[in-house]
């Protein structure tokens, strides 16, 4: 096993960024991680699963800790460079630096139970990697997702999501010079959207948000539209089920369809429940203590308004999960994507200490 | 003075016996913030909410 120095960690990140790995083309990075994990980083069992995820294990016993992040990036290669302490490159913050910080922290950890590192494919695409990980019955008491949160922020919660594709059909169209002869599906869709907003307005104070994201209707510039489809994106806070939101809107759409004499059909394109890790779980406490060890200040716990893989894994396994890693999520996917090298190095230390605190706290709570 | 233990680092904390409910107590070792609560006359600590929000995924 090699000594993991700062220069080793920086070179590994540079090497990873030089590999262009948009979704479905992660193999070069998977190969690099698998080689390093088995030959230099002290992992005992390393393999690639049938969709291309890299799985590496070390240690034994409890707690069982899953460390996972994604190997793919959004498209668009950015030449790798270092300027003013920042390393630029596609995936620098989303999420190769967080991914490698987890890998190196796991490598440095000693006697911290069983650590499973998973480098996943296709997070920016169809979540093939996380779905396959779940299908293969991953065992874990805790999990950390490597995504950019910044050194002093810990993401403990994501909202749930409901996406509905709704179509209004007025049956007939007419010449645009005689609009009184038929209904207008675009106007009906707009009216329906206003009714949906009215129905959801009472939940805004609980943290529910909603917006219309797509609209498509009409067949010609001089024909009244017979059909119009809209997509509605609703973010559901913790403590509220996606089913209750869908039931409410089902009633609203039926009522509007009856009142207006139109046909309204909808399909549920996404239905993901919210997830929040308990603040007093050993995982959250371990990460808080580790940040305090390194930075001397308490980190802020963050609830994200988005929805991610953490929702899927957390609700499926019913275990504490947090998202943590170096980088600024708001600069992800941009042409100037970068990560602070100091932050990347410090995050390795934070995560190494987290694994130590977690194994200690896990034993104390007697799980 | 009531003695209670920090829920995060286990340090013994001294809470004034006249502390009022909702008062914030901070652990000098780990910085955890607690709200003072009373149950059957006894002083208890509950983790104080210190959670922010952010957009994105």
pTM of the full structure? 0.84
Q: Do A302 and B52 touch (CB under 8 A)?
A: yes
The full length of chain B comes to 57
Q: Do A306 and B57 touch (CB under 8 A)?
A: yes
Non-local (6+) Cβ contacts of A23 within 8 A are A72, A73, A121, A122, A123, A124, A125
Q: What are the phi and psi torsion angles at A233 (to 5°)?
A: -115, 120
What was the pLDDT predicted at A297?
A: 80
How close, in Å, is residue A285 to chain B by CA atoms? 6
The whole-angstrom separation of Cα A217 and Cα B18 is 67
Q: Which of A155, A279, A292 is the closest to B47 by Cβ?
A: A279
Quick check: helix, strand or coil at residue A293? helix
Phi-psi region for residue A111, left (φ > 0), alpha (ψ -120 to 50) or beta?
Answer: left
Cα A146–chain centre separation = 10
What are the structure tokens assigned to A331, written together? 């600069």
Quick check: helix, strand or coil at residue A60? coil
What are the structure tokens assigned to A82, written together? 């270092």
Quick check: helix, strand or coil at residue A252? helix
What letter does residue A298 receive in the DSSP assignment?
Answer: P
The strand ranges marked E within A125-201 are 142-146, 153-158, 160-169
What was the pLDDT predicted at B7?
A: 83
Measured N-to-C along each axis, helices A97-108 and A6-18 cross at an angle, to the nearest 10 degrees, of 140
Domain boundaries, chain B: 2-47
Cα A83–chain centre separation = 29
What was the pLDDT predicted at A261?
A: 97
Q: Which of A153, A285, A332 is the closest to B8 by Cβ?
A: A285
How close, in Å, is residue A219 to chain B by CA atoms? 35
How close, in Å, is residue B33 to chain A by CA atoms? 10
What was the pLDDT predicted at B1?
A: 79
CB A317 within 8 A of CB A140: yes
B6 neighbourhood in chain A, CB within 8 Å: none
Q: Which residues of A touch B (CB under 8 A)?
A: 147, 153, 155-158, 279-280, 285, 288-289, 292, 297-298, 300-308, 329-330, 332
The strand ranges marked E within A6-113 are 45-48, 54-59, 64-70, 81-83, 86-88
What are the structure tokens assigned to B29, written together? 């070792």
What was the pLDDT predicted at B55?
A: 81
What was the pLDDT predicted at A292?
A: 86
Question: Catalytic pick from A94, A122, A123, A141?
Answer: A123
What was the pLDDT predicted at A208?
A: 96
CB A54 within 8 A of CB A33: yes
Q: Of all residues in chain A, what percent are helix, strand and coil, respectively (each to 5)?
A: 40, 25, 35
Nearest-CA residue of chain A relative to B55?
A305
Q: Do A305 and B30 touch (CB under 8 A)?
A: no
Q: What are the phi and psi torsion angles at A343 (to 5°)?
A: -65, -40
Q: Which of B32, B52, B56 is the closest to A329 by Cβ?
A: B56
Say how many CB pairs under 8 Å bridge A and B: 58
| pLDDT per residue rounded down to tens, chain A (367 residues) | 788 999 999 999 999 999 999 999 999 999 999 999 999 999 999 999 999 999 999 999 999 999 999 999 999 999 999 999 999 999 999 999 999 999 999 999 999 999 999 999 998 888 899 999 999 878 899 999 999 999 999 999 999 999 999 999 999 999 999 999 999 999 999 999 999 999 999 999 999 999 999 999 999 999 999 999 999 999 999 999 999 999 999 999 999 999 999 999 999 999 999 999 987 789 998 998 899 899 988 888 899 998 888 898 898 999 999 999 999 888 888 899 999 999 999 999 999 999 999 999 998 775 4
CB B36 within 8 A of CB B25: yes
How close, in Å, is residue B55 to chain A by CA atoms? 5
Q: Could you confirm whether A123 is annotated as catalytic?
A: yes
Q: What CATH architecture does domain B2-47 belong to?
A: Single Sheet (2.20)
pLDDT block averages, 10 residues each, chain B of length 57: 85 82 78 81 78 79
B-interface mutation test, from A157, A233, A288, A357, most B Cβ less than 10 A away: A288
Phi-psi region for residue A225, left (φ > 0), alpha (ψ -120 to 50) or beta?
Answer: beta
**ipTM for the predicted complex:** 0.71
The residue to which tokens 């490159």 are assigned: A89
Q: Of all residues in chain B, what percent are helix, strand and coil, respectively (each to 5)?
A: 0, 50, 50
Q: In this structure, are strands A64-70 and A142-146 parallel, antiparallel, or unpaired?
A: parallel
What was the pLDDT predicted at A137?
A: 77
What was the pLDDT predicted at A72?
A: 96
What was the pLDDT predicted at B49?
A: 59
B-interface mutation test, from A282, A287, A292, most B Cβ less than 10 A away: A292
Q: What is the dihedral of CA A100, A102, A108, A111, to 10 degrees?
A: -160
Helices (H) and strands (E) in chain A, counts: 9, 16
What are the structure tokens assigned to A354, written together? 């987290």
The residue to which tokens 């139109």 are assigned: A262
Q: Measuring CA to CA, how many Å separate A89 from each of A5, A79, A201?
A: 22, 6, 42
The whole-angstrom separation of Cα A338 and Cα A328 is 8
């Amino acid at each position: 096993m090699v000594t993991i120095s700062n220069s080793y960690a920086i070179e590994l990140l540079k090497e990873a960024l030089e590999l262009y790995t948009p979704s479905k083309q992660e193999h070069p990075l998977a190969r690099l991680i698998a080689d390093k994990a088995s030959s230099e980083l002290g992992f005992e069992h390393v393999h690639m699963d049938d969709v291309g995820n890299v799985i590496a294990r070390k240690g034994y016993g409890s707690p069982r800790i899953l460390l996972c992040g994604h190997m793919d990036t959004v498209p668009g290669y950015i030449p790798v460079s270092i300027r003013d302490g920042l390393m630029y490159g596609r995936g620098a913050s989303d999420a190769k630096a967080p991914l490698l910080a987890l890998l190196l922290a796991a490598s440095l950890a000693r006697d911290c139970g069983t650590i499973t590192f998973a480098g996943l494919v296709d997070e920016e695409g169809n979540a093939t990697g996380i779905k396959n990980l779940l299908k293969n019955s991953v065992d874990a008491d805790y999990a950390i997702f490597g995504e950019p949160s910044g050194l002093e922020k810990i993401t403990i919660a994501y909202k749930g999501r409901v996406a509905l594709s709704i179509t209004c059909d007025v049956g007939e169209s007419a010449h645009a010079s005689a609009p009184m002869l038929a209904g207008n599906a675009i106007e009906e869709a707009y009216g329906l959207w206003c009714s949906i907003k009215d129905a959801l307005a009472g939940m805004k104070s609980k943290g529910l948000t909603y917006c219309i994201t797509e609209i498509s209707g009409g067949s010609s510039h001089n024909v009244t539209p017979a059909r119009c489809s809209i997509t509605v994106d609703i973010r559901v806070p913790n403590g509220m089920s996606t089913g209750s939101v869908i039931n409410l809107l089902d009633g609203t759409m039926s009522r509007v369809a009856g009142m207006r004499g139109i046909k309204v059909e909808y399909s549920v394109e996404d239905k993901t429940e919210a997830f929040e890790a308990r603040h007093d779980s050993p995982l959250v406490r371990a990460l808080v203590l580790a940040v305090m060890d390194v930075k001397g200040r308490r980190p802020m716990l963050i609830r994200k308004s988005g929805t991610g893989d953490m929702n899927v894994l957390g609700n499926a396994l019913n275990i504490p999960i947090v998202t943590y890693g170096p980088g600024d999520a708001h600069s992800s996917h941009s042409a100037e994507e970068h990560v602070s090298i100091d932050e990347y190095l410090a995050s390795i230390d934070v995560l190494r200490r987290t694994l130590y605190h977690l194994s200690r706290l896990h034993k104390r709570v007697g799980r | 003075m009531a003695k209670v233990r920090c829920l995060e680092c286990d340090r013994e904390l001294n809470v004034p016996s006249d502390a009022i409910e909702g008062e914030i107590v901070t652990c000098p070792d780990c910085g955890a913030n607690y709200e003072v609560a009373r149950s059957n006359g006894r002083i208890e600590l509950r983790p104080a909410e210190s959670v922010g929000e952010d957009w994105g995924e």
